[in-house]
Structure 1
Amino acid sequence: MNILIIGGGGVVGQKLGRLLATRGHLRGREITRLTLVDIVDPAPIPDAAVPVETATCNIADPASVAGCIGADVDVIYLLAAIVSAQAEEDFDQGYAINLMGTLNVLERARALKTSPVVVFTSSIAVYGGEVPDPILDHSFLNPQTSYGTQKAIGEMLLTDYSRKGYVDGRGFRLPTISVRPGKANRAASSFMSSILREPLNGQEAVCPVDEDFLHYYLSPRKCVENLVKGAELDAEALGQNRCMMMPGRIWSIRQLIDAMTAVAGPQPAGLIRWDSQPEIKRIVSGWRYDLRPEKSLKLGLSADDSFEDNVRYYLEDDRPAG
């Protein structure tokens, strides 16, 4: 089994690579090669039980894509993307990466005529506008940002290329992943990790929305577990629409902070500064949170039991030593 992770330098890509390297098998077969590619060379995975390689790839460039996807690749994880706020600010770059990059990967797979499994990470940003709550599996997509639009088009491409037999695709609309390690990025949702991560690391953080702001969350650990399960689903179980919500849970900002306090004590919450930021609020207020992921739950994917678990996972997996 030869696996390629495009976006292998990111938080989810790195965690997925480590899980697969430890697991050693996928879809009932031994992993014989695992390659992580990104726009810059991803960090290596030390002490892996399977051969792991790293390389660079620019998915906006068809030649670069052709150079990293060979005929021997069995499973492609397509995680690479320009994040939400950046895609909103830089219209051309957002479409170059999030739309044309996705198309370049699918076109390369079609040219190879090997029908690899393609696991595509979409986003709950595909929902919005005048769609009534709750959002169900068959609610229509109505994105209110360029990022959401690019992801929605990618979903339709994945389903169509799967219908034609060019790929065996499955796409998952990710909840906001929290608590993410590392530094804040340009995603509009970045504060949903930083208001927890930085205080847990003894640093001040800024919350740009009110404490009653509700959203749909999943931990990084559970996300990569679901991506592994998603790759192993039978095509017949996916039906005619290859894309679905990934399970998550709805919590308010206050509930996130209370969960952090329950796990780590009262001191971290005192490092949060409340500072309303209208541009961030404008973007995130268009996102929907009352999602009912019945299809993916029936297929065996799962959400975190509590946000206390999300906090514990960060402390166990990601908080810097000391």
Structure 2
Amino acid sequence: IHWSPGSGAHATRGAIRDEWRATGWENGPLGYPTTDEICGLRNGGCYQDFQNGQIHWSPGSGAHATRGAIRDEWRATGWENGPLGYPTTDEVCGLRNGGCYQTYQDGSIHWTSATGAHATHGAIGERWASQNWEQGPLGYPTSDEIATGTGSYQMFEGGAIIWTANGSRTEAITMNSSGLTPTQQDYLRQALPAAVAESQQYGVPVSVALGQSILESGWGGSTLSSRYNNYFGIKCSTSSPYQSGCINMGSGEYLHSSYQIISSSFRTYGSRTDSFLDHGYFLTHNSRYGGAFAHTDDPDRFIREVARAGYATDPNYAQKVINLMNAYNLYQYDI
């Protein structure tokens, strides 16, 4: 039984006591116990709270401590009742870029100071493991798994892994920074997850979404994009569930074959992803663009059909997008 003024008196015993001892008793990262052992968890599990974390035990996993950002991520997934199950190791550090990880019955959680803590599991976790974890081309995860209407995806430092429910297909998309300036690399790194989300939700080819966003926003450099997160120049003539407001700004338009600057009301967004999702929403909720979605496996045809249906006033709009798709091989990101 240990007591301190801040924690009170609490007993430790058995496997949980042995794990606490292994971490350094009260001098270790957990500090003093703040509860007694509590049982009745899933699969006969028990846990005990400490000042800076917990120790969980079950017959199938043994006793292991969780703390800090990794513990917080495990909690967010639902503790032992979530997709990861119980921890099967303690936290292990010394990975690339100062990273740490902890394994669980059905997955793992990886953390770095730059990426935060994120869980990987299931088909996406298996695909990441097959690419050599954080040492591979994808690097560390930068998001948790995100569900969509057709499956799920997860973002990584160097790309994304997408799982499609129809056929249980898993694909990895690695960002290719070859030939890109640092500014362009940074833009693509931030735009790729938004384009993947749009593709998963609405079916717009990733290459088309990226190409249009680059053309419309000047690699994110336009005022409309950098200040108001509008990467496609979508106007406020209609509303959507993604927009956060409207702003009046001047924009270039082709009127009677003449390029002019006119004032228009544009949608504003709370995030880059909202802008990309709204692009998909805009195309799928306007019947005139319906024909394009018969060509989602042919990005060039898709954007030509969108332009032909009146998306932009520039008569060369589709070709400009296709030129960008070719110049930077944006097709490699299509899923």
TM score, norm. by length of structure 1: 0.22
CA radius of gyration, larger in: 2
Greater relative contact order (CA < 8 Å, ≥ 6 in sequence): 1
Structure ranking higher in strand proportion? 2
